[in-house]
Amino acid sequence: MQTIKSWRMSITWSDGKTEGLASCLPEYIEKELLIYFRELEDLRDEHDEDMRDEPYNFEDDTEKEIE
């Protein structure tokens, strides 16, 4: 079974400066992210054990813009 070792989250301000958020997230958001990561681990495990027809797709990170 593969497990997620690390993750990061950052924002980019309109002046180009970036700020890391992983170390200061509210506890309730971090808990939700950890639940989601466990779900990803389970999904990856299912794919690795050929329990699904399609291959696991490793997504490239994309920026989300705020309008």
Q: What is the DSSP string of 3-56?
A: -------EEE-TTS-EEE-GGG--HHHHHHHHHHHHHHHHHHHHHHTT-SSSPP
pLDDT tens string 19-60: 999 999 999 999 999 999 999 999 999 998 889 888 788 888
**Structural domain spans, the chain:** 26-56
Question: Encoding tokens for residue 53?
Answer: 């027809």
Which residue is associated with the tokens 């399609």? 54
Q: CB neighbours (10 Å) of residue 67?
A: 2
The answer to whether the pTM exceeds 0.85 is no
Is the pLDDT at 13 greater than 90? The verdict is yes
Counting Cα atoms < 13 Å in the Cβ hemisphere of 6 gives 2
